[in-house]
Amino acid sequence: MIDLDIASDVAHVTLNAPSKLNSLDEQALHDLGRAYDEAERAGVRALVLRGEGRAFCAGRDISGVDPRDDDVIGYLGGLVTPLLKRMAAFPAPTFAVAHGACLGVGLGLLIATDVVYVAESAKIGSPFAALGATLDSGGHALFLDRLGAHKTLDLIYTGRLMTGAEAVASGLFSRVLPDDEVAQAAEDAAAAASRGATAAFLASKQLVARIRDERLALWESVEIENAAQAALCDTEDYREGFAAFQQKRKPEFHGR
């Protein structure tokens, strides 16, 4: 089950199947995509993704999957990858709370989120050695980019899971916090972002994605930064930010 609650310009999306550690079947993937669609239509200015219970998401729900006729391409290529791309392109800052198992597709959900706050209890890695399967949902790219080839293959071959602290220290995600503080930290960050200059945040979000995906060099990225800054000059928030600075007051942004 996927729950969506919207309040004060912030969407709260919750994976709510704690009895199966929020593992995702085909229907859950469709429902998660619809939750993001509804949040976008509502015009929210930030989004928080979390999982109910002991884990964020243990990955794909394989409880009823027969490997002899499993449509892997249909599940991963037809459902998971489009969902992750849709999440990554969400037109507002997105935050995730990672606790307990964050594996497989669950790891992919984190990769597709802008900012991930990780609980000390988090377990992150590649558990697929025990299944005869391989890491999916963007895990290879994330691990190779942040950990290098040797550590990536060590995790894959051994099935060892990183703690939340180790994952953050390795540069995988944003910040590690005690389990009883991580959700509130993400909520506070999302609330602050929802009051910020939305267009400026999205400009940075898009630039970071281009630098990552296109492997842009320094001066190429600078040219795109310059163009983005020039485009922001036409926004109300840009003018408000300058006026507030000059008048020595706190700015009031409205996402326009």
**Region 2-194: CATH code:** 3.90.226.10
Mean pLDDT by groups of 10 residues along the chain of 256 residues: 95 96 94 97 97 94 76 88 96 97 95 97 88 86 94 93 95 95 97 93 94 94 93 88 87 85
Where are the domains positioned within the chain? 2-194, 198-246
Confidence (pLDDT) at 76: 87
Confidence (pLDDT) at 123: 95
SS3 track for the chain: CEEEEEECCEEEEEECCHHHCCCECHHHHHHHHHHHHHHHHCCCCEEEEEECCCCCECCECCCCCCCCCCCHHHHHHHHHHHHHHHHHCCCCCEEEEECCEEECHHHHHHHCCCEEEEECCCEEECHHHHCCCCCCCCHHHHHHHHHHHHHHHHHHHHCCEEEHHHHHHCCCCCEEECHHHHHHHHHHHHHHHHCCCHHHHHHHHHHHHHHHHHCCCHHHHHHHHHHHHHHHCCCHHHHHHHHHHHCCCCCCCCCC
Confidence (pLDDT) at 223: 94
